[in-house]
Amino acid sequence: MTTTSVSRVFNFSAGPAILPVPVLQQIQDEMMSLPGVGASVLEISHRSKDFDAILDDAKSRIGQLLGMPDTHDVLFLQGGSALQNVMMPMNFLTDKSQTTDYIISGAWSKKSAAEVHRFGNLNVAWDGSDDGFSRVPKQSELKLTPGAAYCHLTSNETIHGVQYHQLPEAGSPLVVDKSSDMFSEPIDVSKYGMIYACAQKNCGVAGVNVLIMDKALLERCDDRLPSYLNYALHSEKGSRFNTPPTFAIYVTGLVCKWLQDEMGGLEAVAKFNRSKAQLLYDVIDGTDGFYIGHAAKEDRSIMNVVFKMADADTDQRFLDEAASNNMTTLKGHRSLGGIRASIYNAMPLEGVQALAQFMKDFAQKNG
Ligand X SMILES: Cc1ncc(COP(=O)(O)O)c(C=O)c1O
Rounded to an integer, what distance in angstroms lies between the CA atom of residue 178 and that of residue 157?
9
Residue 42 makes contact with ligand X by CB under 6 A: no
Q: Which residues are catalytic?
A: 108, 177, 201
Among 11, 105, 163, 179, binds ligand X (CB under 6 A): 179
Among 16, 30, 60, 80, binds ligand X (CB under 6 A): 80
Which of 174-182, 187-195, 233-241, 245-253 is the region at the interface with ligand X (rule: CB under 6 A)? 174-182
Residue 163 makes contact with ligand X by CB under 6 A: no
CB of 295 to ligand X, least distance (A): 14
Complex with ligand X: residue 195 or 359, whichever CB lies closer: 195
Sheet holding 339-342, edge to edge: 292-293, 304-308, 339-342
CB of 17 to ligand X, least distance (A): 10
Complex with ligand X: residue 11 or 158, whichever CB lies closer: 158
Which of 31-39, 88-96, 173-181, 266-274 is the region at the interface with ligand X (rule: CB under 6 A)? 173-181
Which of 16-24, 74-82, 138-146, 213-221 is the region at the interface with ligand X (rule: CB under 6 A)? 74-82
Cβ 206 vs Cβ 224: under 8 Å:
no
CB of 209 to ligand X, least distance (A): 7
Complex with ligand X: residue 76 or 108, whichever CB lies closer: 108
Complex with ligand X: residue 317 or 333, whichever CB lies closer: 333
Residue 205 makes contact with ligand X by CB under 6 A: no
How remote is the C-alpha of 166 from its chain's centroid?
16
Which of 78-86, 137-145, 343-351, 356-364 is the region at the interface with ligand X (rule: CB under 6 A)? 78-86
Complex with ligand X: residue 294 or 362, whichever CB lies closer: 294
Residue 101 makes contact with ligand X by CB under 6 A: no
Q: What mask of x and - would describe binding to ligand X in positions 125 to 154, judged by CB under 6 A?
A: -----------------------------x
Residue 198 makes contact with ligand X by CB under 6 A: yes
Residue 114 makes contact with ligand X by CB under 6 A: no
- In sequence order, the 6+-apart residues with CB closer than 8 A to the CB of 95 are 120
Residue 81 makes contact with ligand X by CB under 6 A: yes
Residue 172 makes contact with ligand X by CB under 6 A: no
Complex with ligand X: residue 58 or 309, whichever CB lies closer: 58
Rounded to an integer, what distance in angstroms lies between the CA atom of residue 206 and that of residue 249?
10
95: amino acid identity, one letter: D
Residue 158 makes contact with ligand X by CB under 6 A: yes
Residue 253 makes contact with ligand X by CB under 6 A: no
Give Rg (Cα) of the chain.
Answer: 21
Complex with ligand X: residue 179 or 252, whichever CB lies closer: 179
Q: How many chain residues interact with ligand X (CB under 6 A)? A: 11
Which of 22-30, 75-83, 260-268, 353-361 is the region at the interface with ligand X (rule: CB under 6 A)? 75-83
- The 3-state secondary structure of the chain, one letter per residue: CCCCCCCCCEECCCCCCCCCHHHHHHHHHHCCCCCCCCCCCCCCCCCCHHHHHHHHHHHHHHHHHHCCCCCEEEEEECCHHHHHHHHHHHHHCCCCCCEEEEEECCHHHHHHHCCHHHCCEEEEEEEHHHHCCCCCCCHHHCCCCCCCCCEEEECEECCCCEECCCCCCCCCCEEEECCCCCCCCCCCHHHCCEEEEECCCCCCCCCCEEEEEEHHHHHHCCCCCCHHHCHHHHHHCCCCCCCCCHHHHHHHHHHHHHHHHCCCCHHHHHHHHHHHHHHHHHHHHCCCCCCEECCCHHHECCCEEEEECCCHHHHHHHHHHHHHCCEECCECCCCCCCEEEECCCCCCHHHHHHHHHHHHHHHHHHC
Report which residue's Cβ sits closest to ligand X: 80
Residues of this chain that bind ligand X (CB under 6 A): 15, 80-82, 108, 154, 158, 177, 179-180, 198
